[in-house]
Amino acid sequence: MTTTLKNYHVRMQRVLDYIDGHLDDDLDLDTLSGVAAFSKFHFHRQFKASFGLSVHRYVQLVRMRRASFQLAHSGAQSVTDIAIDAGYDAPDAFARAFRQRLGQSPSSFRKSPDWAPWLTAFGPLDHARNTLMKITYEASDVTIREVHPTPVAIFEHRGDRDRLPETIERFIAWRKAAGLSPSTSPTFNIFRSERTPANPADYSMDLCVGTGRFIDADDANVKPGVIPGGRCAVLRVAQNTNNLEPAALYLYREWLPNSGEEARDFPIYCQRHFSMPPHAPVPEVVCDLYLPLK
């Protein structure tokens, strides 16, 4: 990549970061083109050419995504306040746009979020955020840690990955009912198969929440377990956390052979760190990917 192209990417990334940090401000074309230091007469086309979305559409999606997290995770804010935060003058206009995009009314989503259409609706944001450059990793990004055993409650997903959102929805509902908030009880995923096995029915993943509470062995939804302690290679992933396969492949294909280490007999897993409103302008997820070592 040439120095000129890298500079172009940096300027465009600066715009995305500015949008994330100023969602309550007037994000007009003059402001955003100034952040990028591009002419306002060309910036809207440059943005769409880079990200596949217009500036207006991108800002709408980011605000709507924040609104969806506010509805799902914050009962203190009214739908009217959330609508205003999302840039709508009236709750009914917000409700129409929300239903059109996510297939549920805001009040229905607040009671029982359907995450499958959510993933579809906001997929363009993940695509836009990762379209500038391919994410690469270096050995210096990996640290070796000694971790302690963690007792967890486990929701098993076995079978076609297309049905994973249903398991995620049940997992979220269970942990809400149990009072195990992501801010106080850590969230883990244990990857027991490839992301895309040759036979989709072979896909296997555990969704886990850290807790030492008693879990009835006869519970049909959740079972007790432990993520074992020991040495692990840890790689932090801050972008496109819905797909950790590139990071995992880096660990297996490049880091592990060059490190002199050997993998331990436990699957690769991740811990998801959630940043929720009102502590952040945009809810984000950062993942620590753990490769257990001997």
| Residue 142: closest CA among 227, 238, 256 | 256
Whole-number pLDDT of residue 277: 47
pLDDT at 133: 53
- Predicted confidence (pLDDT) at residue 242 exceeds the cutoff of 60: yes
Check pLDDT > 90 for residue 233.
Answer: yes
Q: What is residue 118's predicted lDDT score, i.e. its pLDDT? A: 82
Name, of 1-5, 63-67, 271-275, 280-284, the range with top average pLDDT. 63-67
Is 131 in contact with 242 (CB distance < 8 Å)?
no
Minimum mean pLDDT among 64-78, 116-130, 147-161, 229-243: which range? 116-130
Q: With 90 as the cut, is the pLDDT of residue 64 above it?
A: yes
* Domains, the chain, with CATH or none: 3-129 (1.10.10.60), 139-292 (3.20.80.10)
Quickly count: other Cβ atoms within 10 Å of residue 187's Cβ.
22
- Where does the chain have alpha helices with state H? 3-21, 29-36, 40-51, 55-73, 79-85, 91-102, 106-111, 115-121, 123-129, 164-177, 245-250, 256-259
Among 85-94, 115-124, 136-145, 250-259, the range scoring the smallest mean pLDDT is 115-124
- Helices and strands per DSSP (H, E), number in the chain: 12, 8
Average pLDDT over residues 280-289: 70
Instruction: Tell which wins on pLDDT, 169 or 61.
Output: 61
Q: Which pLDDT does position 281 carry in this prediction? A: 45
Q: How far apart are the C-alpha atoms of 51 and 241, rounded to whole Å?
A: 18
Residues 62, 68, 69: CA angle, nearest 5 degrees: 95
The per-residue pLDDT for 250 is 92
Length of the chain: 294
Which phi and psi (to 5°) does residue 100 adopt? -65, -35
Angle at the Cα of 3 from the Cα atoms of 138 and 42, rounded to 5 degrees: 120
| More confident: 257 or 77 | 257
CB 270 within 8 A of CB 289: yes
Contact 271, 243 (CB under 8 A): no
Alpha carbon distance 122, 11 (integer Å): 23
For residues 222-247, average pLDDT: 89
Higher-confidence residue of 125 and 58: namely: 58
280 has pLDDT over 60:
no
Residue 50: is its pLDDT beyond 50?
Answer: yes
Task: Give 147's DSSP letter.
Answer: E
* Residue 204 confidence (pLDDT): 95
User: For the chain, how long is the longest CA-to-CA vector?
Assistant: 64
* Burial of 254 from C-beta contacts in 10 A (0-12 / 13-18 / 19+): middle
Q: Is residue 283 scored above 60 in pLDDT? A: no
- pTM (2 d.p.): 0.65
With a cut of 60, say whether residue 23 has pLDDT above it: yes
DSSP states of 86-120: TT-SSHHHHHHHHHHHHSS-HHHHHHS--HHHHHH
pLDDT at position 30 over 90: yes
Chain segment 106-134, per-residue pLDDT in tens: 999 988 887 778 878 888 887 777 665 55
Task: Report the candidate in 207, 111, 126, 127 with the shortest Cα–Cα distance to residue 166.
Answer: 207
Lowest mean pLDDT among 13-27, 34-48, 113-127, 192-206: 113-127
Give the per-residue pLDDT at 279.
44
